[in-house]
Amino acid sequence: MSMPNPLRVNIIGAGVIGLSIACELLDRGATVTVISDAAHPYDCSPLAGAVWFPYGVSLDPEVLAWSWVTRERLEYVAHHDPAAGVAIRDGRYIIRDDSTDVSWAVGLPSYRELDLAELPDGALRGFTAALPVVDMSRYLPWLRNRAGSAHFVNRHITTLSDTECFHPDAVVVAAGIRSAELIADEAPPKPVRGQVVRLRNPGLTDWYVDELAPDGMTYVIPRFDDVVCGGTALAGDWSTEIDTATEAAILRRAIARVPALAGQPVVSRGVGLRPTRPSVRCGWVDGQRLPTLACYGHGGAGVSLSWGSAEAVARALAAR
């Protein structure tokens, strides 16, 4: 679906959501300007694990549809463009609470329930599946390169009127946790702090996720050269400083689950603030001088919902 009369669209935000929207709109013939702060400390996208599954977000039918669109896109990229940093990897997802919603996994062709002997102590059940794993250190530059015909501007935006000098027909606010600074929101996104530490990869490929482990959230996500170990989910915590005690605990948990990590050197570490709200905000914003769309509040599922969200934005613009 192409745009009716090529539109000029300003996108505020250059994380995985903003860049995916830019690529989608460019593919449909729009003229795009991407406006963002350079290396803002609250940026979450570079810190993502990132295994495809919609974590930390309300799983309504629309969100599930976005997740499946995104999975299909990521699988295609994994098979056709190695430079993107996407691989299809087997792994285990552990379930400890009957209320855990894993509707996103229904129908996965590689899905298999784990046997009792494969479960850690206290787990109710679990499954194994082959899912896209995204190395954000490669994927974000790949997205930016794919959106190379866009005009990129590093600028701190305090009001939407700051973007009018680029003469847009429409504006998309995709600035993650900072989005509500620009447009009114009855439920502005709140931070859910995630801390990770990355170890050198000794040759691992399988991922492991146990969100409700009794000793703390535990995930081990091998990428290419490193392994992302996490993590935390501290609601309302705005700190982006590394906590050394938290890192030590993360490493203890990770090594206990994956002993091959013992002795591997730390190659990097970081903290990200997941932009979380009761539901993803994706739609038109009333009361603006320019037609304005919001697309933010993806929690810990920005990567997992990115292409589906981008398609939703493109459809809304085309229909206006």
At 200, which helix (H) or strand (E)?
strand 190-200
Domain containing residue 200: CATH number: 3.30.9.10
Q: What is the pTM of this model?
A: 0.94
Task: Please check whether residue 83 lies inside any domain of the structure.
Answer: yes
Residue 1, domain member (yes or no): no
- Give the tens place of pLDDT for each residue, 10-40: 999 999 999 999 999 999 999 999 999 865 5
**How far apart, in whole angstroms, are the C-alpha atoms of residue 139 and residue 134?**
7
Q: What is the mean pLDDT of the chain?
A: 93
Q: Tell me if 231 is assigned to some domain.
A: yes
- Does residue 286 carry a pLDDT above 70? yes
2 within some domain: no
Question: Which residue has tokens 């939703």?
Answer: 312
DSSP annotation of 299: T
The string of pLDDT tens digits covering residues 132-162 is 999 999 999 999 999 999 999 998 888 888 8
Split into its structural domains, the chain has a count of 1
Quick one: CA torsion of 21, 25, 26, 29, rounded to 10 degrees? 180
Residue 301 inside a domain? The answer is yes
Mean pLDDT of 73-95: 97
Contact 303, 50 (CB under 8 A): yes
Residue 3 placed within a domain: no
User: 242 lies in a domain?
Assistant: yes
Domain holding 117, by residue range, is 8-319
Q: How confident is the model at residue 2 (pLDDT cuts 50, 70, 90)?
A: low
